[in-house]
Amino acid sequence: MHSACATLEIRDEADAVDAICAAHAKGVSCAIVGGGSKSGLGRYAPQAQALSTAALTGVTLYEPNELVLSARAATPLSEIEALLDQHGQQLAFEPMDCGRLFGAEEGGATIGGVIAVNASGPRRIKAGAARDHLLGFRCVTGRGELVKSGGRVMKNVTGYDLSKLVCGSYGTLALLTELTLKVLPKPQTECTLLAIGADEAESLALLRRATATPCEPSSLAMLPAGAALALDADAAAIRLEGPAISVMARRDDLVGRLTSDGVRFETLDEYDSKALWRGLRDAAPVAAAVGQIWRISVAPSEGFAVVERVRRAGAPVIAYFYDWAGGLIWLCLETSPDAYAAVVRSAVDAGGGHATLIRASAEARARVDVFHPQPAALAALTRRVKESFDPAHILERGRMRAEF
Amino acid sequence: MTLLMPRPEPAIMSRRNELIARLGAILPRESLIVDEVARRAYECDAFTMYRALPLVVTLPESVEQVRAIMALAADMNVKLVPRGAGTSLSGGSMPLEDGILLGMSKFNRILEIDYENRCARVQPGVQNLAISKAVEAQGFYYAPDPSSQIACSIGGNVAENAGGVHCLKYGLTTNNILGLDVVLMGGEFIRLGGKHLDSEGYDLIGLMTGSEGLLGVVTEVTVRLLQKPPIARGLLLGFASVAAGARCVSAIIARGVIPAGLEMMDKATIHAVERFQPCGYPLDAAALVIVELDGTQAEVDHLVAVVQDIAREEGATTIRASTSEAERLQFWAGRKNAFPAVSCIAPDYLCMDGTIPRARLPEALAGMDRLAKEQGLGVANVFHAGDGNLHPLILYDASKEGDIERAEKLGFDILRLCVSLGGVLTGEHGVGVEKRDLMGEMFTDVDLAQQMRLKCAFDPAGRLNPGKVFPTLHRCAELGMMHVSGGKMPFSDLPRF
C-alpha cells in the first residue's frame, strides 16, 4: 500500500520536533507509520515522506493497582496485552486487529495506531471506546510543537480534553509519542448465550430487549445464517462476563426473560465464547469475503432498516453481521468503482449515523469519501480544528478529508 | 480581591442601551433582565468568592433565540457568558460586567425518551436528577451523579464534564453522552453525534465536554440511559490510619473488583459528620472507607465477601456490611452530609478538587497537614478514593482579618502539591476562574497555546466566556503566528490580565 517515499526514522521526541518543523517550513506532507498494520484505512493519500515511529517503543509506567499504563506510541499492542494479562488486566475497549481484514499477519498493531483510529471492539457498547480509556498523551503537533494533555489519573477536567480529539484523528493532528491509558481487571470468566430460530429483525429486537434487562450483557451481535459458528440459521449472540457465579445466574435470568416461541437457546463456554468475540472483533465474517467493506454506526433500532435500504437500492450484499445490539453493521458489498457509496450513505442518512469505507482498493479510496460527508458548517469547523494543530496540512494530508 | 478579570470595555458599556434595544427585538420582555436588582441574582454561581454584575441577562427559550443572541453578540462584538443552573464550584458562569449573561434555564424539557436505543434527548436546562426520575419506573437511570444533582443542569454537566461518586465504574459525563446540538458564537448551528456511537470525524463531542462554556452553547443533549442494577450493598470500613485505608482501597482494585462507589474520609470529617447527624460512623477510626457494590444478588454477595476478606487482611478496625437498603443508605448518609456537616464546625470553608495517583495519598495528606499548619487553618478531607479525587475542605472564618487570603493561599498550595505528586488541578469542578492562574503549574505555555488555538477554531473573536480557564488572553491571529523557542512563547512575560 505504501508508495515509495523517503522514510525518516524518529528515535525520540526531539527527532519528531525537528522532522515536523522542517516539514512545516517546506510544506512537505508526512505519513506517520508505526506498525503499518492500518495503512489500508482512510482515504488513499500518498505522502511526500514517511515518519517512522517504530523506534518509539516501551511501556514507561504500569501500576496495576492504580489501573494505569503508559507506553510509547509504537509499543506493540500484543506486548501491552501480554503484560496486562500477567496481572489479570486488559484494555476493556477490545481493540480490533486489522490483520484478517487486509489479509496481513495478525499482531501488527501498535498502541499509537489503536488510538489514532479509535479502534474499539464488541465490548464497546458496555465498556466504551478507545476514546473513553485514553487518560493523557504527549505528541508533536503539525506546527512541530511538543504538547502534552491530560494526565495519569482517572478523573481530570484540567483544560480541554484533547485525548478525545486525538482518538480517531488518523494522525492528521499530531504525531503521538506517548500514551497513558486506563486499564481494567479482566472478568473472571465469560459465556455466550445464543438465541437461534428467530428471523433477522426478531433477533435484533431480542438483542435490544437484552440491553434493557439488568443482566449486564457486555456484547450483543446478530449473526445471519452462515456468518459464523457454522450455524445454518440466524442467531443472536449475547456475551456475559464476570465472576462465574454471576455469569451463570445472569444467563439463566436472561433465558427466562427472552424465551419466546420458536427460539431455542445454546450456551458457548468460555473457550468458544472468547473465540467467537475475537473473530467478531476482527470482523471475521466479512473479512473472509471478497468485496468492499463498510463499517456503519447507527442507532441500534435502525440497523436492520439500513441493510434493507441498501439491498432495496440494488447494492449486492455479499456478507454482513451486526454488532453493538444492531448499532454497528459490518457490510461487505460486491466491488464497484464507487463502492456504492451514495446508496450506503443515503441508507444511513435516513435515520442518522455514519458509514466508513474500511476496505477497498486505493483507486476506490481515492475516488470515494471514505469518511461520512459532513454538513458545511461542521466541515468548516473540522477544518479549523485541524488547522489549529496543523496549519500547513502536512500531517497525513488528505487521509481523512480531501480538503486537508 | 486577588482575582483579575478582563477590564470592562468602555466601548461596550457605552452601547448598553443599543444592545438592550436589539435584544428586545429578539426576546419577549420577560426573557430580558435589565433592572439592576434582578440582575443581582445572577452575579455569581456556587463559587461565591467573586461576583460581578452582568451587563444584561437573557433567558432564551428557543434555539432560534439563542442563535439570534449569539449572532448579535458577534455583530456588536460583545462578550457572552453561558449559564446553566449556576452550581459551578469554580466560577465557570461568573458574569462579566461588560458581557451578556445567557441563562439556559428555560430549556427545561425532556424531548424524547427512547428506551429501545437506551437514550434520551433533553434540553440543557433539565436537572441532572430529573432524567433519572423520568426513567426510573422503567428501571433505567442516567449514571453521572454529581453531588449537586438535585439542582445542576445537564448543560452545565456537559460544560464541566461532571462526575460523581459512581464514576469509577460508570464514567463521567463524557462517557455517557451520545449527541450534542451546539450554537457557535455568531449563531452557527452544529449537530454532533446522535443516537449512534462514535464520531464520523474528530470527536468534537469529547472536546466540547468539559470545555467550560468557552467553545459553544449547548442547546440539546442526547444522554445514554443505563439499566439500574437489581441490587446494591454497602460496606463501612474503619482504619487506624489513612495509610491503612489507602492500602485497602488499592488491594480491592488489585483483586479485580471495581466498586460502584469507593469513598474515604478522614478523622476530622468523620467527627464533623457524627456531630451533625449521627449515623454510626466509628469515632475511633482515623480513616473511613465506604464501598458500594452493585449488580445481581449472587455477584454482589460474592463481592461483599471478597471485600470483607480484604479489609480483614488490611487490618480494618471496623467492618460492617449492609443487609438492607435502609442500612446501605445510612452508610451513605454521613458522606452525603459531609459538606453541610463541615460548615457546622467552621464559619466558612473552601472546597478544593485535586486528583492524585492514589498511592500518594499518605504523602498528600501529610503535606496538606503541614501546609495547613503554616497558614494556621484546619482541613477536613473527603476523597473519591477509587479514582484519586481529593476534596480538601479548608476551614476558615471570612469575618477574621486575612483568613480569606490565607484560605486561598492554602488552596493553591494544596493544588500545587497535587500536581507535584503526579496529579492534576481539578478532577471534576473545573478550572473556571478559581484555578485559572494555576494552569501554568500543569501546562507549559506551548501546551496552553495549543488549547487556546482550539478555542480560536470555535470562537475567533474570543468573545465567549473570556477570562476563564486560561491565565492570559491573546488574539487568535497572534496565536496562529507564534512559534516556540525553548519551550517558552514570546509572550511569556506579558502581564496576566
CA distance A231 to A192: 15
Instruction: Looking at the complex, report in whole angstroms how far the Cα of residue B49 sits from the nearest Cα belonging to chain A.
Output: 20
Q: Please, what is the end-to-end C-alpha distance for chain A in angstroms?
A: 21
Domain B10-103 has CATH 3.90.1150.10: no
Question: In 3D, which of B187, B160, B32 has the Cα closest to residue B85?
Answer: B160
Which of A157, A322, A356, A384 should one mutate to test binding to chain B, selecting the residue with the greatest count of B CBs within 10 A? A157
Residue A305 touches chain B, beta carbons under 8 Å: no
Q: What is the pLDDT along chain B (497 residues), one digit of tens a residue?
A: 478 888 999 999 999 999 999 999 999 999 999 999 999 999 999 998 889 999 999 999 999 999 999 999 999 999 999 999 999 999 999 999 999 999 999 999 999 999 999 999 999 999 999 999 999 999 999 999 998 899 999 999 999 999 988 888 999 999 999 999 999 999 999 999 999 999 999 999 999 999 999 999 999 999 999 999 999 999 999 999 998 999 999 999 989 999 999 999 999 999 999 999 898 999 999 999 999 999 989 899 999 999 999 999 999 999 999 999 999 999 999 998 898 899 889 999 999 999 999 889 889 989 999 999 999 999 999 999 988 999 999 999 989 999 999 999 999 999 999 999 999 999 999 999 999 999 999 999 999 999 999 999 999 999 999 999 999 888 898 887 766 544 455 544 444 44
Contact B201 A208 (CB under 8 A): no
**Fold assignment, A284-367:** Alpha-Beta Plaits (3.30.70)
Which alpha helices (DSSP H) does A259-375 contain, by range?
270-281, 284-287, 303-312, 341-349, 362-367
Contact B450 A65 (CB under 8 A): no
**Scanning every residue of chain A, which has its alpha carbon at the shortest distance from the alpha carbon of B169?**
A127
Q: Which residue has the cell 453521572?
A: B144
DSSP A128-165: --GGGTEEEEEEEETTS-EEEEE-SSS---SS--HHHH
Q: Which of A215, A352, A378 sits opposite B194 (nearest CB)?
A: A352
Give me the CATH code for the B110-227 domain, please: 3.30.465.10
**CA distance to B354, B361, B412, B415, per residue, from B441 (Å):** 13, 20, 10, 9
Could you tell me the three cell numbers for B18?
A: 443599543
Interface of B with A in 287-326 (CB under 8 A): 295-299, 302-303
Q: Which of B175, B195, B487 sits opposite A132 (nearest CB)?
A: B175
Pick one of 1.10.20.10, 3.30.70.3450, 3.40.50.620, 1.10.10.10 as the CATH number of A189-281: 3.30.70.3450
User: pTM to 2 decimals?
Assistant: 0.96
Query: Taking the domains of chain A in order of start, what are their residue ranges?
Result: 1-186+374-404, 189-281, 284-367
Q: Answer whether B110-227 and B231-338 agree in fold.
A: no
What beta strand segments (E) does A336-400 contain? 353-359
Instruction: Looking at the complex, report in whole angstroms how far the Cα of residue A193 sits from the nearest Cα belonging to chain B.
Output: 17
- Tens of pLDDT, residue by residue over A156-174, are 999 999 999 999 999 999 9
**CA distance to A210, A236, B228, B368, per residue, from A216 (Å):** 8, 16, 10, 41
| Domain at A1-186+374-404: CATH architecture | 2-Layer Sandwich (3.30)
Rg (CA), chain B: 23
* Per-residue confidence (pLDDT) for residue B16, from 0 to 100: 97
Backbone angles phi, psi at A64, to 5 degrees: -55, -40
For chains A and B, CB pairs below 8 A equal 276
Q: Given the cut 0.95, state whether the ipTM is greater than it.
A: yes
* Per-residue confidence (pLDDT) for residue B1, from 0 to 100: 46
Residue A201 touches chain B, beta carbons under 8 Å: no
| Domain at B231-338: CATH architecture | 2-Layer Sandwich (3.30)
Chain B hits for A375, CB-CB cut-off 8 Å, are 190-191
| Domain at B347-437: CATH architecture | 2-Layer Sandwich (3.30)
Q: Answer whether A189-281 and A284-367 agree in fold.
A: yes
Contact A65 B457 (CB under 8 A): no
Chain B hits for A68, CB-CB cut-off 8 Å, are 357
* Per-residue confidence (pLDDT) for residue B486, from 0 to 100: 46
Residue B204 touches chain A, beta carbons under 8 Å: yes
CA distance B76 to B419: 41
Residue A216 touches chain B, beta carbons under 8 Å: yes
Q: Which of A66, A208, A374 sits opposite B357 (nearest CB)?
A: A66
Query: Taking the domains of chain B in order of start, what are their residue ranges?
Result: 10-103, 110-227, 231-338, 347-437, 445-497
DSSP B236-261: EEEESSHHHHHHHHHHHHHTT---SE
Residue B357 touches chain A, beta carbons under 8 Å: yes
Which of B173, B197, B310, B447 should one mutate to test binding to chain A, selecting the residue with the greatest count of A CBs within 10 A? B197
Contact A152 B422 (CB under 8 A): yes
Instruction: Looking at the complex, report in whole angstroms how far the Cα of residue B190 sits from the nearest Cα belonging to chain A.
Output: 6
- Which residues contact residue B21 at a Cβ distance below 8 angstroms, ignoring those fewer than 6 apart? none
Residue A155 touches chain B, beta carbons under 8 Å: yes
Interface of A with B in 217-276 (CB under 8 A): 242-243, 245-246, 249-250, 253
**Scanning every residue of chain B, which has its alpha carbon at the shortest distance from the alpha carbon of A251?**
B296
Chain A hits for B248, CB-CB cut-off 8 Å, are none
Contact B428 A88 (CB under 8 A): no
